[in-house]
Every structure is written in C-alpha cells, then in structure tokens.
Structure 1
C-alpha cells in the first residue's frame, strides 16, 4: 500500500484495506503523504489520549483568504482548537448543548417525507438525512422557519470551511454566507434565557470579555450545525442500510442497538488528524515532533483484538458501544447521545409508520471525501 489517503467514492470496500493494514502495519509511515497512519484500536486510543499531539491548524496564516466573519468562526471552533482555548470553547459548547430542548422528531420527519414523496419513492439521503439532524437542532432552540430554511440551504457549502484544502469556489461561497449566518444565529441566541447567564459564568471563570465569549458561542453553534449536516446524515444513512440488510428493526430497542453497531461497523467518519508537538513512541515506531498523524477510527472499530468477530454486523456484541466513532478523551464529540437518539427515533418512526419499506439501490455511491463515507443517495419505496 503506497498511500493511506483515498476518496471514499473511489473505493468499494475500504474495510478490506484496513484489515490488511491491521494485520501487517497497525502503525504505518505513508511516504507518499508524509504522515503516520494508525490503524489498531489500542494505538488509536493511545494517540487520542496523548497530550503530546494536537489538532493541526486548518488555515495557517489564512492561506485560504477567508473574510473576517469566516475566519472568526473557524478560529473559535472547539473541534479545531487546542490547550486552554479548547477547554473554554468546549465548556461553552457543553453549556449550549445542555439547553437543547426536546422536540417531536416524528412531526419533523413526517413533514420531510411528505414534502418529497413521489410515487411512493423518496431519496432518504437528500430528503431526510441532510435536513432532519440540523432541523432538530435549530427547532430545539426555537429558530424561525425562515432562518431554518436559510441555514439548511447554505450549510452544505459552508461546511467546507472544515476542509484542510479548499477550492477558490468553496472559499467564495464560505465568504459570501459567513456574515449572514453568524448574524442570524447571534440574533436568535442572544434572546434565549441562558444567553446572559452563560456569558457571565464564562467571563467570571476565565476572565474573558463578553465579545470573545460571544464569538466562541456563535461559532460553536455553527459547528454543531455542520456536524449535524455531515456526521448526522451519515449516521441516518448508514444505519438505514444496515438495519434493513440485517433485518434488525423489530422494536425500538433493537433499532437502537443497530444504530450503535452501525457506528462501529460502518461509521460516517473514517479518520481524523493530529500533529505531534514532541517526540514519542507508538509501539516500536518513533513519532517525531511536527509529524502528521492520521487516526483511522473506522479501522480501529474493526480491530479483532478489541471486538470479537469484528468483521460481522452483530447488535448483541457486548462492547459495541466502545467504538471510537465519536472519539475519546478531550475531543470526544458532545453530540454522541443526541445523534444515537435521533437516528433511533427517526428509524423507529419509519418502520412503524409504513408497512412496506424497500431499498431500491443496488449499488451505493459515496461522496468524494477522504475522511467521511457518506452515501450520495439511498432511494427507498414506502407504502402505508
């Protein structure tokens, strides 16, 4: 294997590659891309918990020419921060998440399905998966329909702000929408009951001025929207495929177990990046300061040293919940349980509402992404 980086759209079965590397090179130096690649569960956990690694800078010296609004959002995201900034922004994100209100998922998904249903057929990805997670977040905080529509319309192009490399067209769209997106969210959140108390609490604890806290708050709410759009649709898409392929949808408990096993067996996010800030060893391999590291979470999730019969989809495996899809340690995704619950509720609604559900896809095509395996379309036929 000469290169560890490939577009998921170009590979039919990435797991066969991961299995080969798990068996032969669980820690691998990729000469082509000049980065270390970590495939085993043990070593992935070791890297994720290692204080000698950090999140790499996505936009050094603003090489992508982002405007002020886009740059402020990017620079304040918890997912891309390190050290004390990460601690503060994570605390803010957790406070925001704690104010998420419960809403009726059934009503939202029903409206989404009825809007696009034609001849009893619907594209599950584009009609439901790309909209339900982010709509659930926005409606949980009481956003108006007009603002929901704008955010949903623009989130696909704006989510490219997370890419380490961006095209001129992607940067153009990010810059065009950054200021309005920031303004809409700031205006709405500033009217919510928890807003002022959050500012006071963080200001007193960390001696930060209100303007800086506001920037962190708004930026990380936008980050939550991006995560909902990317990883959220992947969880809904992949879970649907595996639940129907394995016929594990007899009740809500079985569906929830299936979602958790899908997160292990076929996660939406396949890898994440780090950079070393000191020399250290992983096994017998020396990682040197400033070396790039690719952590292949999807490979770790199928490590037979951790999961018995790891290549089999089994909802009764006792430790499926120990998958690394949401990360571990300080950078573990805060939306883990929200995402599992959302997918469980959405799929439970689908199987309870419709007597017949049939997958119409013979071959699933995936988005041309390196870090995520996201189906482009999943056409299904549903009948009452």
Structure 2
C-alpha cells in the first residue's frame, strides 16, 4: 500500500466521522453567531445597513458547488458575493448568501485555483495557480510543479495576466503558492508553502523573488502526503510589513523595505497547527483559522492582537468549526466573518462531494 493510498483511506475514515457530526449539528440548528470587527458611530446609514445584513445573513451558507473543493475565498461587499477558487476544476466562482454558485473565471492556464484575493481598488481578482495532482488539468505524474499568480478583471473575469513563478527559480523543486496579498501601491506578494520564497509581482504582472530566507523554511510534516510544509498565509499590515503565518503555528514579520530584517513574532502562545488562513481585521489585528486535518478535532478560530508594531502578539481562541478541514476565513455581509469548509478531505481521498459550507464565526 503506497503513501497516497494510506492517506486517502485515513481521510475517508475521518470524513465519515466529521460528516456525521456536522450533519447532527446542522440538523439541530447548531452554529456559531457571527461577530463584526471595527465600529462606526451609531445611526449612520452604513451602520443601519450593516445591522440589516446581520439580520438577513443565514446562520450557515450551504453552497451548491458540487466537486469544486475550494481552499480559499474572499468577499466583495458591493456585489455581496463570496469568490472561491476550485482546486478540482481550476475555476473561480461567485457564491451568494443564498448558496448559489456561478462560475466566474475559467482560464485554461489555471490548474488549481487556491488563494483568491479581491483588489477592488484596481478592479481585479488575484488567484494563485497550484497543482496537487488531483485536478482535472493536473499532471498526475508530477504534482507541485505549477506555481503562479493570475490577475483577472473583477467585472468580466477576463485575464489581465498570469505569471509563472517557477520560471524565476528553475530549481526543479516542488512549489505551492498558498496565498497572496496586495499592498496599497498595488504590489502583490505571494508565498510558497514548499520553499522559503516570497515573490513580488507589480501591477503589470512583472514578477521577481522578493525574499528567500531559511526563517521561512517549512518544518511541518503531513504524514504520507507532504513534508516540510511552511508558509500558509500572508497579510499586508500597517507599518509596511508582511505578516506570514507558518503552518507550524508561528508568525514571521517581514518589513517590506528591508526584507532582510525578517524575524519571528513573539507570540503569547503559538497558533494551533496547521495554520491554514488569515484575515486582516479593521483594527489592524488578525483572525486566523487552524485546520484539524492532523488531529480530526474541530478547526480553531484565533484572534491575533499585535503589540510593538507586530514584534509581539497575543493569541486567543475565539471560536471553533465542527468540520476539522476548515481552511480559510473572510469577512461577509453585515460585518460578519465566515470560515470556509471546502471538503478537502474528500478531494484528497478521491471522493466526490455535493458542495461546501461557509460558517459565521466569532473573531473576538
């Protein structure tokens, strides 16, 4: 029995247990209430609309996108839509709060669409291009050889550019662009989960290696699947810095003007491992989700409150999601925060599924 077969059997068993537990919770109406971040003066028109959105937002969004297997998502407030990438089809779809899924980007260059980041200021959607070896367009005999980022028009879904980041490394190694973030000047930063490399991409799609540092080398092993898993998520934060979440539960602070000064953030306690996704909150703090992929326990939602310009941070658990394999968090209507459970256990186990779930969670 090879490693992939062992992993699929283990995940298939875990999925049955999780499905039973989740089904019971949903049937009884059990779910976490969303809580907003930031504040406005009472009585403003925006505040009224936010409150209306809270009342109208469903407790759980059960999306009908069968076999999409999204890993990441972002929310576009003006259109009131979530944008999710598909690891199976390499597409990006929009999802309404009614759970209806519509294909928005279908670019043959995208093998699997992992990270999704909406840059409304420039009217575009950034998408990371990866290959787990399980997608419709995968090279089944050579997984993790695709690494790129594409830019797409936010109104039409048409490609602006799609850059191949492996062309900058030419190292023959496995690569996985796990996440991407955008600075105020439009520069995008993409992190590689399987090598200690951060890429810089200007608004026109010109890419370069921004930082390669052993501090970003992965140390987490996922039995029978991947070794040395490193950077899982990235956010641009105040002070012209990148905050990078490592899969092992640590955070790294990277000054954009002096990336050579990158250092670990001193945390009150590590994030649960493996860390999977982050969201920047209005007050400059971060909410992060850690998957229960390795433990089978509920995914943890954690609040990270920085101090000293992100030299230190306090970590507290604010919520959990029953589905262990919950992989990302984003804002939603009415200043809620939603966690994404995309059915990744089914994907890795080679099983179909009938959709995915967005669950409102507490951030603090």
TM superposition score normalised by structure 1 = 0.25
Structure with larger RCO (C-alpha < 8 A, sep 6+): 1
Q: Which has the higher strand share?
A: 2
Highest CA radius of gyration, 1 or 2? 1
